Structure 1
Amino acid sequence: MERPNESFTKAQELRSFLFLSVVTAPVLAGIIVASYGFLVWMYQLLAGPPGS
Structure 2
Amino acid sequence: MDRPQQPFTKAQEFRSFLFLSVVMAPVLAVIVVSGYGFLVWMYQLLAGPPVR
Q: Same fold (TM over 0.5)?
A: yes
How is 1:24-43 mapped onto 2 (pairs within 5 angstroms)? 24-43=24-43
TM-score normalized with structure 1 length: 0.87
Q: Report how many aligned residue pairs link the two structures.
A: 49
TM-score normalized with structure 2 length: 0.87
2-structure distance, mates of 1:14, 1:22: 12
- SS at 1:7's partner residue? coil
Cα RMSD of the aligned pairs, angstroms, is 1.6
- Unaligned stretches of 5+ residues in structure 2: none
CA positional deviation for 1:35: 0.2
Match of 1:18 in 2: 18
- Unaligned stretches of 5+ residues in structure 1: none
- Extract structure 1 runs of 4+ deviating beyond 4 A: none
